[in-house]
Homo-oligomer: A and B are copies of this chain.
Amino acid sequence: MNPSSLTPAEEYLKQHLQDVRDLLQKQKLEETILQHQAMPHHDLVENLLHRSHQVALRHKLENLHSADIAYILEALPVEQRLVVWSLVAADMDGQILLEVSDAVRATLISAMDTSELLHAAEELETDEIADLAPDLPEEVLQELLERLNDQGRERLRSVLSHDENTVAALMDFGMVTIREDITLEVVLRYLRRQGDLPVHTDKLFVVDKNGILKGVLPLKRLLTQSPDRQVADIMARDLVAFHLDDDADEAARAFDRYELISAPVVDHEFRLRGRISVSAIVDHIRGQSDEERLNQAGLMEEEDIFSGIWKSLKNRWVWLAINLVTAFASTRVIGMFEDTIVKVVALASLMPIVAGIGGNTGNQTSMLIVRSLALGLITPGNTRRLVAKEMLIGLLNGSVWGAVLGVLAYGLYSDRGLALVMASATLLNLVVAAITGLAIPLVRHRMGMDPAVGTSVLLTAVTDGMGFFIFLGLASVFLH
């Protein structure tokens, strides 16, 4: 047992990546030599040498876990990635396609023909095929559906027909089912005959002859109870199960709350239809928080660091355009007060501060609301109390920061009127920010929309526009 096999530290992965890079380099060098030497009698030798590095690379890849190869593919630029991809053993293709990110998967699939894709998909379980399905060409998917047996086809259709945010989209079919009228001894013999169990099996599912779920038998109980007891006596009847169309986020919270490893998925007649495992839940959580972060930064989707320029530009333009429109709208307010600015030019350098601090406090409020909504903590019973609290904080914050900014403005321009306008505009804009920070997520939530997406953009547009309007408006009335 050596330390490198003991700990899959990033160092160990990076070492493999470096090895692959070195081998690619050597191979490339040889190809160049090969092209520049035209002497025919060298061909054979060169070819052999070239091949020897390819063999070394192929050998290296054979000994890596599919997740580690996926990591290496992610970190390589497209042309090197495709060289490595062509050397990966065909029976690992399917697993690797599942492991890589969406953007990298697209580059790999585009380098494969129909028969390679079919071969890769046939190595996979039904639920894994479903995960790949959105990225597969239509004819490959059709061909796959035809090759499956009735049960497989029905299962694949049931996953594909549900929205990606439902439990059905996360489920797999690695469930071991037993009847309740047998002894544990019989169960143990049955498992030994099977010779293997699906990954993440921590419980067996007890069903009747119609496939209706009656309970679950945790492996823990199977292992610690006397073999001559009946399944019916030992199984848990009070269990956590999900419906096909339950919300995936709710399932994730339930897995967290009850510390589950796997849970049955049933239809409305309680017929067992599949299973969710904790690893599907972890993938879902990671995907969710990743998507949220991308949107917040103004990106449409995941971007491979080596994506083509054109793809990257398209990915970034939608949010940039939205931001530009809102920025233009809110700065048009400034245009209304150009006369005032010419008279008191100090307004020009103070106004972005009033707008900015409004955006910041509004974001703090809306973040807390979005988070509490996500945790299911906001109910009609406590909304009013919450609104009152945030409004009070807006007022207090506004008084303190308004005073600070007023003093700073006086220090800079020694103009008492300007200082008062600065202080009162800050106070008012922080109250506007508190109201907006509360209202946007709460209203979006009540309308059934995701309260997080785009909240920050909308909020900043309001706090900027109102900040400019309040500050310049007050100045135009009170300063001369």
Mark A residues whose CB is within 8 Å of B.
1, 5-10, 13-14, 17-18, 21, 65, 67-68, 71, 74-77, 99, 188, 191-192, 194-197, 199-202, 214, 219-220, 222-226, 237-243, 246, 250, 253-259, 261, 266, 270, 278-279, 281-283, 285-286, 289-290, 292-294, 296-299, 303, 305-306, 309, 312-313, 316, 319-320, 323-324, 327-328, 330-335, 338, 341-342, 345-353, 355-357, 360-361, 363-364, 366-368, 371-372, 375-379, 381-382, 385-386, 389, 392-393, 396-397, 401, 404-405, 408, 412, 464
Query: What are the 6 closest A-B residue pairs judged by CB atoms, nearest first?
Result: A297-B367, A334-B349, A67-B257, A289-B289, A259-B279, A348-B348
CB atoms of B192 and A226 under 8 A apart:
yes
Nearest chain B residue, comparing its CB with the CB of A101: B375
Which residues of chain B are within 8 angstroms of A196 by Cβ–Cβ distance? 220, 224
How many Å lie between the Cα of A375 and that of B75 in the bound state?
A: 10
CB atoms of A1 and B270 under 8 A apart:
yes
CB atoms of B261 and A202 under 8 A apart:
yes
CB atoms of A282 and B256 under 8 A apart:
yes
Which residues of chain B are within 8 angstroms of A401 by Cβ–Cβ distance? 320, 324
CB atoms of B352 and A331 under 8 A apart:
yes
Given contacts A188-B223, A320-B401, A389-B309, contact A21 B381 (CB under 8 A): yes
CB atoms of B382 and A6 under 8 A apart:
no
Give which listed residue, B219, B306, B412, contacts A219 with CB less than 8 A. Answer: B219
Give which listed residue, B223, B256, B306, B357, contacts A323 with CB less than 8 A. Answer: B357
Given contacts A14-B376, A223-B219, A224-B196, contact A282 B285 (CB under 8 A): yes
CB atoms of B360 and A320 under 8 A apart:
yes
CB atoms of B278 and A282 under 8 A apart:
yes
Known: A200-B261, A296-B296, A324-B405. 13 other contacts (CB 8 A): A8-B254, A10-B253, A71-B377, A77-B385, A195-B224, A261-B261, A294-B367, A298-B360, A299-B364, A306-B389, A309-B393, A324-B357, A334-B349
Which residues of chain B are within 8 angstroms of A392 by Cβ–Cβ distance? 309
A230 nearest CB across to chain B (Å): 16
Give which listed residue, B10, B243, B355, contacts A376 with CB less than 8 A. Answer: B10
CB atoms of A6 and B266 under 8 A apart:
yes
How many Å lie between the Cα of A301 and that of B183 in the bound state?
A: 53
Q: List 7 A-B contacts (CB under 8 A).
A: A1-B238, A7-B241, A67-B257, A75-B377, A285-B285, A305-B368, A305-B382
Q: Which of A1, A197, A309 has the most CB of B within 10 A?
A: A1
How many Å lie between the Cα of A396 and that of B378 in the bound state?
A: 45
CB atoms of B353 and A320 under 8 A apart:
no
How many Å lie between the Cα of A167 and that of B361 in the bound state?
A: 36
CB atoms of B224 and A191 under 8 A apart:
yes
Nearest chain B residue, comparing its CB with the CB of A359: B323
A194 nearest CB across to chain B (Å): 6
CB atoms of B9 and A246 under 8 A apart:
yes
Which residues of chain B are within 8 angstroms of A14 by Cβ–Cβ distance? 376, 379
Which residues of chain B are within 8 angstroms of A348 by Cβ–Cβ distance? 334, 338, 341, 347-348, 351
Given contacts A286-B256, A312-B393, A376-B14, contact A352 B368 (CB under 8 A): no
How many Å lie between the Cα of A88 and that of B392 in the bound state?
A: 33
Give which listed residue, B77, B257, B303, contacts A8 with CB less than 8 A. Answer: B257
How many Å lie between the Cα of A77 and that of B67 in the bound state?
A: 46
A105 nearest CB across to chain B (Å): 15
CB atoms of B316 and A364 under 8 A apart:
yes
Which residues of chain B are within 8 angstroms of A21 by Cβ–Cβ distance? 381
Which residues of chain B are within 8 angstroms of A351 by Cβ–Cβ distance? 348
